[in-house]
Amino acid sequence: MKLPSLDAFCSHDDFRQVMNCVYIDGKYAVSSDAHILVKVDISEYFDNVELMNKKLIHRSVWWQMMYATTRTATETGIKCSYENFECEYSYFKTDSQYPDYMKVIKIDEDEQSKGIIDIGFSPHLLKRLSLITDEVIHFRFVESGKSILISNDDFAGIIMPAMVSNHNWKMYYKLQIGL
């Protein structure tokens, strides 16, 4: 089974190399380029997923692992089987810590929808959602000027507000995905 393309949501930042990686948090993989945040349940894609907890996988390794027929986590890396060969990828090593992404995507369940006058979505950013899921995505409007929760059974995300000028100020949103 092919992995979700989380490498597409990683940063290409030479100064914050931890953001160039997919972070494993329990059975979830987290990826962000500081504009988009994605969190996906990966337990069905890996054997021994619990051994990956709190590990980093560089985006280039993630991309290569997407095409493996089997993926087994070990303490030191991930063993992958392909059609004609096998190999083991090491986890990314750094002294830096992955940012506390839960601060970005936490939304209280009792928050109610409030009026939002004008919303625009970038088609380029929304197209990136198709890399994560083909399922229906639900948008939950929390409060005007605040984030919009995106979710389905496999993932959740946040669309963050950004102000743009077009004669009048209107509320537009940048896409962030997570769970």
pLDDT single digits (tens) 149-171:
666 676 666 666 554 444 333 33
Domain residue limits, the chain: 6-102, 106-178
pTM to 2 decimals?
Answer: 0.68
Q: What percent of the chain has pLDDT over 90?
A: 43
Return left, alpha or beta for 167; rule: phi > 0 is left, psi -120 to 50 is alpha, else beta: left
Do 145 and 117 touch, CB atoms closer than 8 A? Answer: no
Q: Are 96 and 18 in contact (CB under 8 A)?
A: yes
Strands 148-151, 138-141: parallel, antiparallel or unpaired by DSSP? antiparallel
CA distance 78 to 68: 11
pLDDT tens-digit readout, 51-86? 999 999 999 999 999 999 999 999 999 999 999 999
**What's the CATH number of domain 6-102, 3.10.150.10, 3.40.50.12780, 3.30.420.40, 3.60.40.10?**
3.10.150.10
Cα four-point dihedral sign 45, 157, 75, 83: positive
| 179/13 Cα distance (integer angstroms) | 23
